[in-house]
Amino acid sequence: MSSLPVIDPALYPAQLEEKRAAMQAMFAHFELPELEVFTSPETGYRMRAEFRVWHDGDDLDYVMFEPGDKHTPVKLTECPMVDERIASMMFEFLEAVKGVEELRKRLFQIDFLATLKGELLVSMLYHRAIGEAWSEAVAPLRQQFGIDIVGRSRKNKIVLERDFVIEELTVNDRKYIYKQTENSFTQPNARVCEKMLQWALDITHNAEGDLVEFYCGNGNFSLPLAQNFDRVVGTEISKESVRSAQFNIAENKIDNVSILRLSSEEFTEVLQGKRQSRRTEGLDLASFKFDTVLVDPPRAGLDDETVKQIQTYPAIIYISCNPETLQQNLEVLTQTHRIERFALFDQFPYTHHIECGVYLVKK
């Protein structure tokens, strides 16, 4: 959280309309269906938040920075964008830290990870080594605030009890359990994430065959979508996310999802027969009938080879956090596929950031 958005629910409808119009204009040269727009809660929408900690004499403050100015901190006295569980304790927590030299010394960042059912994990990041003395000093705060706490310094991580939370997302009246580990990617806006999952279920309700998924993370899309496909194979490069995905598969009692720890580039080469990987042993990929592919890439979008690979599938679900790279990839994908559905998910209200969902089918 490096910039300082103005949180004013009265402005939200107009700002969302600006995003809708911008998307319509940006993708106007494609043959677009009607743009579907999914709103966010107007406050308390961020379940994951990171704050710089500013030292000013004996004081400690959370700070953010205006866009384009990384040198002038703006001290926070409230934060209506974060989940209520975070907002209710974050300033009192910092006040408690301020009075303990072992906890405040060279502390430069505090991260929060909350869930809809009230769990909260706090990560404290330091520009110095921390050890047993830090663990003893911070333990009372874990009890006081009813939270889990992790300490991080260079090449060191201290976990008081656990380094994850258990989230529950409701999709089509069914609850899905997700282990979310600190310092790993999770969708920051849980309510909008539920709408994204609902949308993905809706567009694939008549799907056939199997689903292959690139950048599957902790199984965020894989688990709900499993009901619409015979089998699901997901790939993810992050070791921690793969571990969480395996936990989530077991907890949700889903038996038709397999997760492989491979990058999208590696998995593309495996599917194209250009390489073999011991990580696919025991999974007869040739027996799968991948009629649908789901990609949820980072801001850089899809590399050229992955674009070529996903063009081989009859249906494509593309979840994007960067409209610019999405536009570039669509220039190629629309040579072979037509856009059937196009959605705007407002994950980040009051900012220029836009999350999109596109469903394409082969011409």
The Cα 29–Cα 332 span in angstroms is: 13
In DSSP terms, which residues pair with 30 in a beta bridge?
A: none
340 flagged as catalytic: no
Considering Cα of 192, then 193, then 199, then 205, what sign does the dihedral take?
negative
Classify burial at 309, counting beta carbons within 10 Å of its beta carbon; exposed 0-12, middle 13-18, buried 19 or more.
Answer: buried
Edge-to-edge strands of the sheet including 120-126?
73-75, 59-65, 48-56, 107-114, 120-126, 148-153, 156-159
Contact yes or no for 274/309 (Cβ under 8 A): no
* Helix or strand (DSSP H, E) at 291: strand 290-295
In DSSP terms, which residues pair with 345 in a beta bridge?
A: 38, 355
The Cα 211–Cα 225 span in angstroms is: 9
- Which residue out of 66, 321, 331, 356 is catalytically annotated? 321
Hunting for tokens 């921390």 — which residue is that? 130
Question: Which one, of 268, 342, 280, 276, lies nearest residue 310 by Cα?
Answer: 268
355 flagged as catalytic: yes
Q: What separation, in Å, do the N-terminal and C-terminal C-alpha atoms of the chain show?
A: 41
The Cα 290–Cα 124 span in angstroms is: 43
Q: Count CB neighbours of 122 within 10 A.
A: 25
Q: Kindly state the tokens that stand for 285.
A: 């990929």
β-bridge pairing 174-181 and 164-171: antiparallel
Q: Give me the amino acid identity at 136.
A: E
Q: Kindly state the tokens that stand for 363.
A: 């011409």
- Which residue out of 42, 194, 266, 355 is catalytically annotated? 355
Residues belonging to the active site: 321, 355
